[in-house]
């Protein structure tokens, strides 16, 4: 590696360390001041770190650790055991719906997929395991918002399509609906032609710890949202009971 290349790595690592060790999201101006780097250099390095999912920006433009940190944390803690326990349930949901099935948890402000069963259709949703999306554009994210697993955003929200929720107030109103009917859905809010439905999974104490959901083409999902929602509630409740039994058995109670 050239001297300039090594210097770039050192500077990028310095910025990454400042963000990860900060108690709260940190602004661009503060990063420039604390690092002592030129604004242009800071901007270039932050863009590279963001492009590689090491950093992300919140609604106010401040920086926090990116999806790769959340993904690593999810894959190297007890959630991997939860994913193994949940696998038969996810496969049953996949067999019933034919769609891509995911189990997700909250990590900081991110939704992290910890398990997936692929669609049986030729045309279906992608592999979401290493993809970070705005939670308000995700049915899984809406479930985690609705049951206080994720901190609620404020002000205006990122709109990825014309159907995306635009404000925190709109999100709050929809979360009331999610809690009332027991499931969440998105209709072309993340991507045109893509719909999703999700339901909450609860831990031993009754608190929501995860979300179980399916996603696929709007043409297959839109007409059956209520039926799919009820189906997911049934399977999410089944998974919740399974997790309670396994955890209690492990604890010797």
- Name the E strands within 84-230: 100-107, 110-117, 184-187, 194-202, 208-217
The token pair that represents 166 in the structure block? 């635009």
The token pair that represents 11 in the structure block? 């500077």
Say if residue 2's pLDDT is above 60.
Answer: no
Chain-centroid distance, C-alpha 34: 30
67 compared with 227, residue with greater pLDDT = 227
Q: What is the pTM of this model?
A: 0.67
Q: What is the pLDDT of residues 28-49, one digit of tens each?
A: 999 999 999 999 999 999 999 9
Q: What angle do CA 94, 95, 96 make, to 5 degrees?
A: 90
Mean of the per-residue pLDDT values of the chain: 87
Ordered DSSP codes for 170-188: HHHHHHHHHHHHS-EEEES
Rounded-to-integer distance, Cα 216 and Cα 126, Å: 9
Say if residue 124's pLDDT is above 60.
Answer: no
List domains and CATH numbers for the chain: 3-65 (1.10.10.10), 71-251 (3.30.450.40)
**C-alpha dihedral sign at 133, 137, 142, 143:** negative
41-46 long-range CB contacts below 8 Å, 24 or more apart?
41/11, 42/15, 45/8, 45/11, 45/12, 45/15, 46/15
The token pair that represents 60 in the structure block? 């106010």
Q: What is the pLDDT of residues 167-192, one digit of tens each?
A: 999 999 999 999 999 999 999 999 99
Neighbouring residues of 243: CB distance < 8 A, sequence distance ≥ 6: 82, 85, 86, 201, 202, 203, 204, 209
Q: What is the pLDDT of residues 75-103, one digit of tens each?
A: 555 677 778 888 899 999 999 999 999 99
């Amino acid at each position: 590696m050239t001297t300039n290349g090594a210097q770039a790595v050192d500077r990028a690592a310095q910025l990454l360390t400042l963000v990860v060790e900060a108690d709260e999201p940190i602004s661009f101006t503060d990063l420039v001041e604390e690092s002592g780097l030129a604004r242009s250099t800071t901007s270039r390095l932050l863009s590279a770190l963001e492009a590689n999912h090491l950093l992300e920006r919140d609604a106010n433009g401040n920086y926090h650790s990116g999806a790769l940190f959340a993904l690593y944390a999810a894959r190297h803690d007890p959630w991997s055991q939860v994913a193994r326990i949940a696998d038969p349930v996810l496969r049953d949901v996949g067999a019933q719906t034919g769609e891509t099935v995911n189990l997700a948890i909250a990590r900081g402000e991110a939704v992290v997929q910890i398990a997936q069963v692929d669609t049986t259709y030729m045309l279906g949703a992608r592999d979401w395991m290493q993809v970070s999306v705005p939670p308000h554009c995700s049915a899984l994210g809406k479930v985690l918002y609705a049951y206080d697993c994720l901190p609620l955003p404020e002000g205006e929200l990122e709109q990825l399509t014309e159907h995306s929720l635009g404000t925190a107030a709109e999100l709050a109103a929809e979360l009331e609906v999610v809690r009332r009917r027991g499931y969440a859905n998105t209709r072309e809010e993340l991507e045109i032609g893509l719909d999703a439905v999700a339901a909450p999974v609860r831990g031993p104490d009754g608190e929501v710890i995860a979300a179980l959901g399916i996603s696929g083409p709007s043409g297959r999902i839109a007409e059956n949202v209520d039926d799919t929602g009820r189906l997911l509630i049934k399977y999410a409740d089944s998974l919740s009971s399974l997790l309670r039994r396994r955890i209690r058995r492990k604890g010797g109670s």
